[in-house]
Structure 1
Amino acid sequence: MAYTRGDGEYFIYNTQGEVISPGIPVEDIPPNTQYVSPNPAEKSNTQKEPSEAASYTAYPNNGPNFSSHHRGWSGSTTSTHISSGKPFLPSSSSDSIRKHLPLGTGGSWVPEIIAVIVSLGALGSIMGVLAKFNGHALPEWPYYITLNAIIAALAAVTTATINISLQNSMSQLKWIRFKEARTRLSQIEAFDEASRGTWGALKLLFTLRGGLLGSFGATVSIIVLLLGPFAQQIATYQTREVESLDGASITRALNYTGALPGNTSSTGFVPILPLKSAVYNGLFAENGRPASALAFECQSGNCTWHPYDTLAVCAQCVDLSPFIQEFCAAGEDAGDCGWQVPQGAKLKDRTEVFSMTSQIPTARGDQPHSSILRLIFMGTEAFDGQPGEIKPWARQCQLSACLQTLKTNISNGVLTEDIVASKTNNTVLDNSDLNDGRDHNVYIISEDGIPYELGIEAMLSMRGWFSSLFANGSASRSDAAYNRTITDNSVVVNLTVGISSGETFFDSDIVTAFYWNYYEYSNGLDRLVNDMATSMTVAFRSFIGAVPVSGRAIYMESYVHVRWGFAVVPIVVVFGAALFLLATMYQSERSTTQIWKSSALAMLFHGLDGGAKNHFGHASSLREQKEQARVTKVQLEESDDGTLLRM
Structure 2
Amino acid sequence: MAYVRGDGDYFLYNTQGEVISPDHQYITPTPAEKAGAQKESNVQEAVPYTVYPDNVQTFPSHHRGWSGSTTSTHISSGKPFLPSSSESIQKGLPSRTGGSWIPEIIAVTVSLGAVGSILGILAKFNGHSLPEWPYYITLNALIAVLAAVTTAAMNISLQNSMSQLKWIRFKESRTRLSEMEAFDEASRGTWGAIKLLFTLRGGLLGSFGATVSVIVLLLGPFAQQIATYQTREVESPEGASVSRALNYTGALPGNTSSTGFVPILPLKSAVYNGLFAENGRPAAALAFECQSGNCTWNPYDTLGEYCASGETSGDCGWQVPQGAKLTGRTEVFSMTSQIPTARGDQPHSSIMRLIFMGTEAYNGRPGEIKPWARQCQFSACVQTLETKISNGVLTENTTTTKTNNTVIDNSDLNDGHDHNVYIVSEDGTPYLLGIEAMLSMRGWFSSLFANGSASRSAAAYNRTITGSSVVVNLTVGISSGETFFDSDIVTAFYWNYYEYADGLDRLVKDTATSMTVAFRSFAGAVPVSGRAIYTVSYVHVRWGFAAVPILVVVGAALFLVATIHRSRKSTTQIWKSSALAMLFHGLDDGAKNHFAHTLSLKEQKAQARATKVRLEELDDGALLRM
TM-score by length of 1: 0.87
Distance in 1, Cα, partners of 2:565 & 2:221: 32
Are residues 424 and 82 of structure 1, via their aligned partners in 2, closer, same or farther at CA, if it must alter by over 3 Å? same
The alpha carbon displacement at 1:447 in A equals 1.3
Distance in 2, Cα, partners of 1:120 & 1:399: 76
- The one-letter code matched in structure 2 to 1:490 is V
Match in the other structure for 1:292:
284
Match in the other structure for 1:634:
613
Match in the other structure for 1:205:
197
The answer to whether 1:91 aligns with 2:84 is: yes
Distance in 1, Cα, partners of 2:52 & 2:39: 15
Distance in 1, Cα, partners of 2:319 & 2:45: 151
Match in the other structure for 2:232:
240
Contact map agreement 2:382 2:431 (CA 8 A) in 1: yes
- The one-letter code matched in structure 1 to 2:216 is V
The alpha carbon displacement at 1:100 in A equals 2.9
Are residues 107 and 470 of structure 1, via their aligned partners in 2, closer, same or farther at CA, if it must alter by over 3 Å? same
Contact map agreement 1:97 1:605 (CA 8 A) in 2: no
Q: Which string of whole-angstrom CA distances, capped at 9 and with x for unpartnered residues, describes residues 390-433 of structure 1?
A: 11110001110000010111111111000111111111111111
Match in the other structure for 2:533:
554
The answer to whether 1:381 aligns with 2:394 is: no
Contact map agreement 1:482 1:492 (CA 8 A) in 2: no
Alignment of 1:244-393 (within 5 A): 244-322=236-314, 326=317, 339-393=318-372
Match in the other structure for 1:65:
none
Please state whether the residue corresponding to 2:482 is helix, strand or coil: strand
Aligned residues: 590
The alpha carbon displacement at 1:42 in A equals 5.6
Alignment of 1:131-530 (within 5 A): 131-322=123-314, 326=317, 339-487=318-466, 489-497=469-477, 499-530=478-509
- The one-letter code matched in structure 1 to 2:312 is L
Please state whether the residue corresponding to 1:313 is helix, strand or coil: strand
Q: Which string of whole-angstrom CA distances, capped at 9 and with x for unpartnered residues, describes residues 208-236 of structure 1?
A: 00000000000000000000000001111
The alpha carbon displacement at 1:479 in A equals 1.4
Are residues 463 and 59 of structure 1, via their aligned partners in 2, closer, same or farther at CA, if it must alter by over 3 Å? closer
Match in the other structure for 2:34:
none
Distance in 1, Cα, partners of 2:101 & 2:306: 86
- The one-letter code matched in structure 1 to 2:235 is E
The alpha carbon displacement at 1:97 in A equals 3.8
- The one-letter code matched in structure 2 to 1:616 is F
The answer to whether 1:542 aligns with 2:535 is: no
Are residues 58 and 472 of structure 1, via their aligned partners in 2, closer, same or farther at CA, if it must alter by over 3 Å? same
- The one-letter code matched in structure 2 to 1:562 is V
The alpha carbon displacement at 1:86 in A equals 9.6
Say which is worse superposed, 256-265 or 378-387, in terms of deviation. Answer: 378-387
Distance in 1, Cα, partners of 2:52 & 2:228: 79
- The one-letter code matched in structure 2 to 1:503 is E
Distance in 2, Cα, partners of 1:38 & 1:315: 134
Q: Which string of whole-angstrom CA distances, capped at 9 and with x for unpartnered residues, describes residues 463-522 of structure 1?
A: 00000000111111111122211246512314123x244212211000000111111111
The alpha carbon displacement at 1:443 in A equals 0.8
The answer to whether 1:127 aligns with 2:119 is: yes
Are residues 37 and 98 of structure 1, via their aligned partners in 2, closer, same or farther at CA, if it must alter by over 3 Å? closer
Match in the other structure for 1:14:
none
Match in the other structure for 2:560:
581
Are residues 480 and 54 of structure 1, via their aligned partners in 2, closer, same or farther at CA, if it must alter by over 3 Å? closer
Distance in 2, Cα, partners of 1:597 & 1:41: 42
Distance in 2, Cα, partners of 1:38 & 1:58: 18
The answer to whether 1:82 aligns with 2:70 is: yes
Alignment of 1:21-32 (within 5 A): none
Contact map agreement 2:243 2:520 (CA 8 A) in 1: yes
Are residues 477 and 25 of structure 1, via their aligned partners in 2, closer, same or farther at CA, if it must alter by over 3 Å? closer
Distance in 1, Cα, partners of 2:114 & 2:88: 47
- The one-letter code matched in structure 2 to 1:254 is L
The answer to whether 1:109 aligns with 2:85 is: no
RMSD over aligned CA atoms reads 2.6
Match in the other structure for 1:17:
none
Distance in 2, Cα, partners of 1:477 & 1:60: 134
Please state whether the residue corresponding to 1:406 is helix, strand or coil: strand
The alpha carbon displacement at 1:523 in A equals 1.3
The alpha carbon displacement at 1:102 in A equals 5.2
Distance in 1, Cα, partners of 2:91 & 2:350: 119
Distance in 2, Cα, partners of 1:492 & 1:118: 90
The alpha carbon displacement at 1:372 in A equals 0.6
- The one-letter code matched in structure 1 to 2:455 is S
The alpha carbon displacement at 1:39 in A equals 3.9
Are residues 613 and 267 of structure 1, via their aligned partners in 2, closer, same or farther at CA, if it must alter by over 3 Å? same
Structure 1: stretches of 5+ with no match in the other structure: 12-21, 27-34, 45-52, 62-67, 327-338
Q: Which string of whole-angstrom CA distances, capped at 9 and with x for unpartnered residues, describes residues 340-377 of structure 1?
A: 11011001111011111100011111000000110000
Are residues 100 and 485 of structure 1, via their aligned partners in 2, closer, same or farther at CA, if it must alter by over 3 Å? same
Structure 2: stretches of 5+ with no match in the other structure: 13-19, 25-36, 76-80
Match in the other structure for 1:604:
583
Match in the other structure for 1:6:
7
Distance in 2, Cα, partners of 1:454 & 1:512: 31
Contact map agreement 2:239 2:292 (CA 8 A) in 1: yes
Contact map agreement 1:9 1:24 (CA 8 A) in 2: no
Please state whether the residue corresponding to 1:346 is helix, strand or coil: coil
Are residues 43 and 271 of structure 1, via their aligned partners in 2, closer, same or farther at CA, if it must alter by over 3 Å? closer
Are residues 433 and 5 of structure 1, via their aligned partners in 2, closer, same or farther at CA, if it must alter by over 3 Å? farther
Distance in 1, Cα, partners of 2:529 & 2:421: 27
Distance in 1, Cα, partners of 2:54 & 2:286: 113
Distance in 2, Cα, partners of 1:543 & 1:634: 102
The alpha carbon displacement at 1:23 in A equals 8.5
The alpha carbon displacement at 1:435 in A equals 1.1
Distance in 2, Cα, partners of 1:358 & 1:79: 122
Q: Which string of whole-angstrom CA distances, capped at 9 and with x for unpartnered residues, describes residues 237-262 of structure 1?
A: 11111111111111000100000111
Please state whether the residue corresponding to 1:528 is helix, strand or coil: helix
Contact map agreement 1:263 1:269 (CA 8 A) in 2: yes
Contact map agreement 2:282 2:510 (CA 8 A) in 1: yes
Distance in 2, Cα, partners of 1:429 & 1:390: 42
Please state whether the residue corresponding to 1:347 is helix, strand or coil: coil
Say which is worse superposed, 167-176 or 83-92, in terms of deviation. Answer: 83-92
The alpha carbon displacement at 1:36 in A equals 13
The alpha carbon displacement at 1:41 in A equals 3.7
Distance in 1, Cα, partners of 2:460 & 2:69: 134
Please state whether the residue corresponding to 2:411 is helix, strand or coil: coil
